Amino acid sequence: MHLKRLELVGFKSFAQRTRIEFGAGLSAVVGPNGCGKSNVVDAIRWVLGEQSVRSLRGSRMEDVIFAGTDRRSPLGYAEVALTLDNDSESLPLPYKEVTVTRRLFRSGESQFAINQTACRLRDIQELFIDTGLSKASYALIGQGQLDSILSANPLDRRILLDEAAGINKYKLKKEQAHHRLAQTNEDLGKIEALLIELKEQLGPLQARADRARRYLELRSRLRQAEETLALWRWHRLKEKEEELSSRLEVHKGRLDQTIAASQEAERDRQVIQKEAKELEQLLAEKARNLEQQQAAANDLRAQIRLIGGELELLQRELAANESDQEELDAKEQGLAAAIGQQQSRVEEAQIALTAARSRFQDLEQRESTTRHGLSTARSQLEQMRSELIDVLQEEVGLRNDEQNLNKEIARLQEAAANLTDELDSLKDYASALEEERCRVEGSVQDARTTLGDLERKGEETQGKLTALQSRSQGLQGEMGALERSIQERKARLRALQDMERTYQGYFLGSRTVLQHQERWPGVYGPVAHLIQVPAEYEKAIAIALGSGLQNIITSTEEVALTVVRFLKARKGGRATFLPLDTIRPQRLAQTDVRHLSAPGVIGVASELVGFDPLFRPAVEYLLGRCILTTDLESAANLARKLRSYHRIITLDGDFISPGGAITGGSSRGGDASLLGRRRQLEELRAFLAEKEGQLREMEQEHAQLAEQQAAYERELRDLEQQRHQMELELTRRIKELDGLDPQQSRLADQIQALSAQQDKLVVAIKENMDELASLQAKHDQCKTRRDHLEGEVKRLQGTILELEQSSRTDEQDLRAAQVAVASRQAALEREVERLRELQSALLELEELKKVRQTRLLELENRQERGRQSLHQGQERLLELEQAIKAQEGQIGTLKVELEEKNRLIGELTMQLERFRQQRGILETKVNGLTLELEKTLWRKNEETKLLASLGVEDPLDCSIEEPHPGLQAEVAELQRQLDELGPVDPQTIPEAEALAERCGFLNRQYRDLVSAREDLEKLVATIDRDSRTRFLETFGEIRREFRELFAQLFEGGKADLELLEPDQPLESGIEITAHLPGKKTQSLALLSGGERALTAIGLLFALLKVRPSPFCLLDEIDAALDEANLDRYIKVLQDYARSHQVIVISHRPKVMEAADSLLGVTMPEKGVSQVISLRLAQAAY
């Protein structure tokens, strides 16, 4: 794949349609400055998806559209089309040529196309990903971008290696996988919340549906059994009716005869009976008075026993309170002692914190002193090294002077004639050199001092920057964790809001009413919305209410009937309504209220929930006879004491029903019931408000840290630039100083030789020997001085090593002391918090003591009142007993008189006894037969009604069979089971089936999502593994090529690429080191412009060799190269261009000569560019 052509119209200076054909090999784009050469590079970057306006050398995107000239009007759009040869099918498209087009209108509208087919910018960017032609590709290097390869920070520099390794598509896939994973987790959260809600409803609903199914089954069996028994009883009663009617007629005739005979005897007895009756009336009145007095006495005795029992209970409660008071006193003393101990611990923590801070300050002072000593030793070392170099140079000069001394003597003899003039001139020149040397040495020392200051300041700034970066990374981690927590809670909030909005969890009827609630002003809403339940009672209240949570409270019965008619018309299901004007509250009997103070009893459920007083009848109807206890044992104890209808429920959800049935065991946890849903919504909103506030504070802190970091980075770059300039200046001055030494040495030798000649030494040999001795002496002195300086250098190096070790030790001690200060501070805060807790507990205990003392006084007052009532009752009882004795005497006298009358009546009664006995027997028989006949007729009528209710219209038409002996017991058992089941709702059966089906569907969805999440996690792991392998392989190849190219470009030297974090190759930054021939390893910032350019070129072509791109476009990257470096660059360029397509923009003639073809960009008309193509091989021909 390679670039075939580029078409431009309206792009920057290309006003008219321009077509540029590109051939294989090396093509050079040439032309004068300002003619639009770089616009070709901008056009290629733009059509490949570049969105950065700064990278396109503009201030806004509309700047790429031709703006017009004095002679041409502005154009309304810019268009660039780039055509690539796709014979190798490197691009995943079924075309031999692929043309990418981008168009921009002044309105801001953009259009993109691939082979004339409209597409998105993202499609173009994904098409070229990992092909070497992305917008951040190393194959497209514009003006000034070459140096940015070296200037970029290590993390930005690895972008080029990611492109070369071809892992950008893996990063894109990983990002997409993470996005899908986050979406999957959010969906899982929603489904899980919904499943919790539905399963919380499904259990009770299935239980109610099972009860309804059981009820229908039992009711059907009961109807069949009752019908069989009723038919059998009806026929037996029919037969009995006929028999009793016949016997009754016979006994009535006999009774009439006996009555006539006894009437005459009865009239004779009536006179005496009248007198006896008067006595009986008087006796009865006396007896009634006696009974009243005895009843009053019995009531008074019972009252006395009751007061005694209450006094006994009060005495026990007084004893218990006194025991509790002693226990509270003991607890108060214990808390006071604990507070004292805790105060001691707080003081000890404060002392420890003060000691830790003091040690930290001492270590900080020691570390500062060590740093100062290290800086001084380094300065002395540099000075000694400089002096040692001077001595070595002087020693070399002396050695050379010794060798050339004889030749110098002959030369001096020849110059004797001009000796005087030359000597004066040399002395003047020597004085000038000495002055220059003094000036240069002073400037060198100043430069070294300034450089040391810059290095120290740079280290301080780098330390601050590192601390900021560490804090920023930590803050980013905290923000990420907080954002994930917020997203999880938001997903839960949205799920609950969806449930609340769509009334999920409500039966069809209740849901239909709530969805149309605005139709009826008298509909207040479901019970679940109108009561407020503390969180600790939610489970118990939810079980107590059951489906009652969905009951609809209405203002009147008429409103409820209206809504029922609406449900029937709409076929909207069934619902239960609680009209406030007709509903009857349910309350505990007064005899049961006293048991609410039993151990483990919390209270009546209706008194533990919050609600508007308007809804009290409905709430008491549902919960008025429901009692909450702490555990099942307390509930069982209470159930044995209560007599009226009631339900007892524990906080764990176990309950005892009115018939004595106990329901309990473990249940699935969950907090998404109808009662808990609104509370959860408020809790989630409060949580999100708090955490989003924390997130905003973190973002503000992060932004501040970013600003500070940017400021430190700018300061660091400025310091680095100043240091670089100062090092260059220091090098220049040292070279200048080194150049003065040989001049002065030679000048001294000349002056000495001329002086010797001037003294007219007689014997030339003696002069030479003297000079030679003098030189040897100087040589010995130089050696001595050299040995001394070398010893000093070694000593200072040892001192520096010791100081550096001491500095590292001080830094470690300082960090440890800082950690100790933080630890002591945290310990102090914990101890202070514990002290506050103990003090708070002491205050609460004192308040409890006051309450207990008040209760003790109240009990003592009640005991005193009870004793007074007991004494008064005993006195009244004594009076009543005396009155009863007197009344009993009067009754005895009247009984004697009545017995006398009865004796006379007895004589007459004996005469009538025979008639009465006979009449009584007959009347008894008649009455018995009559009553039995009436009962038989009534029972027959009842059986007829029962048969009619069972669907039997005429029992005479039905065949009967004798029921088996156990049928009646079976009916009783069936009825008992129905009574135990209580009221049921048949509508729960289809609702439970629908809810179970929905839970199954959601469970399947949940399992599918869990499987998808596992697949995504495996995909991310695979992407990381493949990316790591590809990156490390490519990094090794690039590293090898970079070493070879560096050595080739610099004719020696060494360079390398290093991972800052080898254990994390996919996140590690890339560091570049360079060691130029004949120089020490130094920072890239200290390299000259040409050296930096050549190093970057080496890295660029290493990338291109390992991962070639379809074509390579280089814009004036040779500008900083001198002629020697340019030749080596051209050789590398030509080597690469033999097998790859390369396009360069250059002003250098040698580059133009090396090109296979030239593309000339001219500007025949001001502001309008034009392209001329020339193939050099054709031109030469």
Domains and CATH numbers, the chain: 2-172+1030-1180 (3.40.50.300), 375-482+692-810 (1.10.287.2610)
- Per-residue pLDDT band at 643 (split at 50, 70, 90): low
pLDDT at 113: 94
- Section 941-969 average pLDDT: 68
pLDDT of residue 1081: 61
Q: Which pLDDT score, from 0 to 100, does residue 407 have? A: 60
- What CA–CA distance (Å, rounded) separates 94 from 92? 7
Contacts of 91 (CB under 8 A, 6+ apart): 1, 84, 98, 127, 128, 131
Structure tokens at 244: 């009793």
Given pLDDT bands bounded at 50, 70 and 90, which one contains residue 80?
very high
Least confident of 218-227, 559-568, 630-639, 1160-1169: 218-227
pLDDT of residue 629: 92
| Spatial contact of 266 and 836, defined as CB atoms under 8 Å apart | no
Q: How many residues make up the chain in this entry?
A: 1181
What are the φ and ψ backbone dihedral angles of 222, each rounded to 5 degrees? -65, -40
Could you give the CA distance from residue 210 to residue 988 in angstroms, rounded to a whole number? 9
Whole-number pLDDT of residue 465 = 77
Do the strands 626-629 and 647-650 form a parallel or antiparallel pair, or are they unpaired? parallel
Stretch (H or E) spanning 829: helix 764-949
- Residue 1104 confidence (pLDDT) above 80: yes
Joined tokens for residue 546: 């059951």
pLDDT at 762 exceeding the cut of 50: no
The position carrying tokens 């993390």 is 155
Mean pLDDT to the nearest integer, 1113-1130: 85
- Rounded Cα distance between 1171 and 6, Å, is 11
Strands 117-119 and 110-114: what pairing? antiparallel
Q: Which tokens is 1160 given?
A: 């000339």
Condensed to tens digits (0 to 9), the pLDDT of residues 852-875 reads: 778 778 777 877 777 787 778 777
Q: Distance between CA 1035 and CA 162 in Å, rounded?
A: 9
Tokens 């029962």 correspond to: 946
CA nearest to 795, candidates 381, 389, 379: 381
Provide the strand spans (E) within 483-560: 523-526, 531-532, 552-554
Beta-strand ranges (E) seen in 323-389 are none
Whether the predicted pLDDT of 415 surpasses 50: no
Residue, of 614 and 1017, whose pLDDT is higher: 614
In 3D space, the residue among 53, 49, 41 whose CA is nearest the CA of residue 8 turns out to be 41
Does 959 have pLDDT greater than 70? no
Other residues' Cβ atoms within 10 Å of the Cβ of residue 798: 11
The alpha carbons of the chain give a radius of gyration, in whole angstroms, of 57
HSE of 1000, CA atoms in CB hemisphere, 13 A: 6
Predicted confidence (pLDDT) at residue 977 exceeds the cutoff of 80: no
b/e burial code for range 604-629 (CB count within 10 A of at least 16 → b):
bbbebbebeeebebbbbbbbbbbbbb
Nearest CA to 1143 out of 26, 104, 6, 364 is that of 26
Q: Would you say the pTM of this structure is higher than 0.85?
A: no
Average pLDDT over residues 1124-1151: 87
Contact between 193 and 495 under an 8 Å Cβ cutoff? The reply is: yes
Least confident residue range of 7-11, 303-307, 710-714, 1081-1085: 1081-1085
Q: Which amino acid is at 189?
A: G
**Positive or negative, the Cα torsion across 198, 979, 660, 624?**
positive
Q: What is the mean pLDDT of the chain?
A: 79
> First CA to last CA across the chain, in angstroms?
29
Which of 294-303, 455-464, 615-624, 792-801 is most confident?
615-624
What lies within 8 Å, CB to CB, of 720 at 6+ separation is: 458, 1085
Look at residue 1180 in the predicted model and tell me its pLDDT.
Answer: 40
Confidence bin at 759 (pLDDT 50/70/90): low
How far is the C-alpha of 18 from the C-alpha of 7, rounded, in Å? 6
Note the pLDDT tens digit of each residue in 179-201: 888 888 888 888 888 878 777 77
pLDDT band at 672 (very low <50, low <70, confident <90, very high): very low
Q: Which two tokens stand for residue 176?
A: 């997409």
Convert the pLDDT of each residue in 342-393 to its tens digit.
788 888 878 888 888 888 788 878 878 888 887 888 788 778 877 877 776 6
Nearest to 603 by CA among 517, 535, 540: 540
CA distances (Å), origin 612, targets 411, 609, 939: 127, 10, 52
Return the minimum-mean-pLDDT range out of 48-52, 413-417, 556-560: 413-417
| Residue 699 exposure: Cα atoms within 13 Å on the Cβ side | 9
Per-residue pLDDT at 953? 65
pLDDT for residue 1181:
34
CA distance 428 to 912: 189
Copy the structure tokens of residue 1151.
């580059």
Beta bridge partners, 1055, equal: 1074
pLDDT at 777: 80
In whole angstroms, what is the distance from residue 80 CA to residue 43 CA? 7
Q: How far apart are CA 309 and CA 597, in angstroms?
A: 17
Give residue 49's pLDDT band: very low, low, confident or very high (50, 70, 90).
confident
Is the CB of residue 546 less than 8 Å from the CB of residue 984?
Answer: no
Which positions ≥6 away from 149 have C-beta within 8 Å? 138, 157, 160, 1096, 1099, 1100
Higher pLDDT, 221 or 1058: 1058
Model confidence at 136, pLDDT cuts 50, 70, 90, reads low
Sign of CA dihedral 46, 48, 51, 55: negative
Burial class (CB in 10 A: 0-12, 13-18, 19+), 513: buried
Residue 1088 has pLDDT above 80, yes or no: no
- The residue behind tokens 């630890």 is 823
- Tell me the average pLDDT across 1038-1052: 86
What's the CA gap between 1109 and 903, in Å, rounded? Answer: 146
pLDDT number for residue 911: 67
Q: Give the burial string for 210-231 (b: 16+ CB within 10 Å, else e).
A: ebbeebeebeeebeebbbbbbb
How many Å apart are CA 337 and CA 633, to the nearest integer?
A: 38
At residue 612, the pLDDT reads: 92
pLDDT band at 105 (very low <50, low <70, confident <90, very high): very high
At a CB cut-off of 8 Å and minimum separation 6, what does 730 contact?
A: 444, 447, 448, 451
Residues 6+ apart with CB under 8 A from 172: 126, 129
**Phi, psi (rounded to 5 degrees) for 91:** -90, 140
What's the CA gap between 924 and 324, in Å, rounded? Answer: 72
Inform me whether the pLDDT recorded for 83 exceeds 90. yes
Six-digit token pair at 250? 């016979």
Separation CA 340–CA 842 (nearest Å): 12
Inter-residue contact 673 to 198 (CB < 8 Å): no
The two beta strands, 77-85 and 2-9, are antiparallel
- Is residue 1128's pLDDT more than 80? yes
Q: Across 132-141, 230-239, 480-489, 893-902, which has the greatest mean pLDDT?
A: 480-489
Q: 1032: burial class by Cβ within 10 Å (0-12, 13-18, 19+)?
A: middle
Q: Is the pLDDT of residue 713 over 60?
A: yes
Q: Cα(940)–Cα(238) distance, rounded to whole angstroms?
A: 7
Mean pLDDT of 837-866: 78
Q: What is the spatial distance between Cα 618 and Cα 525, in angstroms, rounded to a whole number?
A: 12
What's 551's DSSP letter?
P
Going by C-alpha positions, the residue among 672, 622, 680 that lies closest to residue 649 is: 622
Structure tokens at 156: 């930005």
Query: Which has more pLDDT, 1100 or 98?
Result: 98
Counting runs of H as helices and runs of E as strands, what totals does the chain give? Answer: 23, 24
From 744, 742, 763, 767, select the one nearest 754 (Cα to Cα): 767
Tell the residue number behind the tokens 């007052």, with chain if given.
861
User: What is d(CA 1036, CA 1049) in angstroms, rounded to the nearest whole number?
Assistant: 20
